Every structure is written in C-alpha cells, then in structure tokens.
Structure 1
Amino acid sequence: MDRIAIRGLRARGRHGVFDFERHEGQEFVVDVVLGVDTRPAARTDSLTDTVDYGELSSRLVDVIEGEPVNLIETLAQRLADVCLTDPRVVAVDVTVHKPEAPIQHRFDDVSVTISRRRG
C-alpha cells in the first residue's frame, strides 16, 4: 500500500466540552496518511488518477472549522469519513492534535489517532 500524507494542517475550530472552547475556539493540527495505490498516477502522470491533496486539505479544513463536537475522537472520525469518500483511498490514519487543550499542567501536545479502512 502506498501512502500520501498531509501533516500539520492547521485550522481554528470550536471543539471541546467547555463553553470557553466553543466560544473562543482554538487551533487544531491534523495529520492524515492515506493508503492508496499510486501506480495509476505514476503511469499517467495525471492529477485525475490520484488524490488531489490540495482539494482534500480544503475539505478537511471545512470540517475543522465547521460544526463543533465535544471530543477530538469525533472530529477525527469525521475527518476520516471525508478521506474515505474518495474511492481510491483504501485506508486512512488521522491524528488530531489539540495543542491548546485545557490542561492545568505543562504539556507538549494532546492527540488522538484513529485508523480506518474501507468496508
């Protein structure tokens, strides 16, 4: 399985269980790794034969900036669902980072990673 990765995609969202998270929002950072067969694109050298990662990035940002959810687990699932709408994507790993999570201790990152495969 070949992989196409988008790492460090940033957008502001209003996800979280606390009112201030919903009101103020915060930056989320997303990594996606798509499992695809890149041989058709390699043969034709055509964007139409692969995943357009620019277009996919825009769709992912729409989800991050869109309807708020309580948990980053839910956000990760929504992002995975977007990736799997492309029939060329067989599997996807999604990591949602919440670097501004409301934790009362010093930390570098909070993240959730999920792996999903097509049916």
Structure 2
Amino acid sequence: MTTDRISLSGLTVRGNHGVFDFERRDGQDFVIDAVLELDLAPAAASDDVADTVHYGELAERLAEVVGGEPVNLIETLAQRLADVCLADPRVRVATVTVHKPQAPIPLQFADVAVTVRRSRS
C-alpha cells in the first residue's frame, strides 16, 4: 500500500482558545501544520484536482475551526482539526500540530505545540 503525503505548514489563524478569560476575550494566533497520508497515484495519473485533497479548501476548513467555537485546550483543537482532515475518506492518517506561540507563560520560550496523529479505523 502506497502512502503519499500532502503537507500544509504554518497556517496562521486568529482564535480565542484557552483556559483564561483574557485568551478567550483577546484571542491570539495559532499556527497549524497538517500532514495527510493517502494514495496520490489516482491524482498523479488523472492530473485532476478532484482526485486529491484540495489543499486550499483544506486550509479554509481548518481555519474555520480555529476561528470558530473556542475550546480550553489545544489538545481539543488538534482533535477537531484531525477530524476535519479525516472527513475525506481518501485520507488514511492525519497528523496535526497546533502551535500556540503566544501561550501565557511568564518565561521566554519559542513555542508550545501539541501534535495528534489519527488514523482511519
């Protein structure tokens, strides 16, 4: 079984997620990376975007979730984003990383991120 990948990295979307009231009120940027594992041979053979996951449409769906209903944890957000990726039946595995670079940590840090890997059962 061939496992090819489509990667979308650095999708930056403003969202109001977090456990603190000020995070939900003021919002912050979240950065999303998604890797989809699927067979790309049909798309390569047909040269037709209908035979693959349209990464532009995927980005829009992911952005809707990040910009939508607030959640407390980026773990929950990552799961919701993985569910979006797996909504396409061609996707066998989805790995989603949610970066929260402005997390409320009173120390200098580069990034906070959660990664989930979900596969079709």
What TM-score does the superposition give when structure 2 sets the normalisation length?
0.98
- Residue of structure 1 equivalent to 2:65: 63
What per-residue deviation string (whole Å, max 9, x for no partner) do you get for residues 8-49 of structure 1?
001000000000000000000000000010000000000000
Residue 115 (structure 1) shift: 0.3
Residue 106 (structure 1) shift: 0.2
Runs of 4+ aligned structure 1 residues displaced above 2 Å come to: none
How many residues are treated as equivalent by the alignment?
A: 119
The residue identity in structure 2 corresponding to 1:29 is: V
Gaps of 5+ in 1: none
1:70-89 alignment runs, 5 A limit? 70-89=72-91
The residue identity in structure 2 corresponding to 1:79 is: L
Indicate the RMSD between aligned Cα atoms, in angstroms: 0.3
- Residue of structure 2 equivalent to 1:9: 11
Tell me the distance in 2 between the aligned counterparts of 1:42 and 1:66: 34
The residue identity in structure 2 corresponding to 1:112 is: V
Residue 71 (structure 1) shift: 0.1
Give 3-state SS (helix, strand or coil) of 2:107's partner: coil
Gaps of 5+ in 2: none
The residue identity in structure 2 corresponding to 1:104 is: P
Tell me the distance in 1 between the aligned counterparts of 2:102 and 2:91: 31
Give 3-state SS (helix, strand or coil) of 1:33's partner: strand
What TM-score does the superposition give when structure 1 sets the normalisation length?
0.99
Tell me the distance in 2 between the aligned counterparts of 1:7 and 1:56: 12
What per-residue deviation string (whole Å, max 9, x for no partner) do you get for residues 47-105 of structure 1?
00000000010000000000000000000000000000001100010000000000010
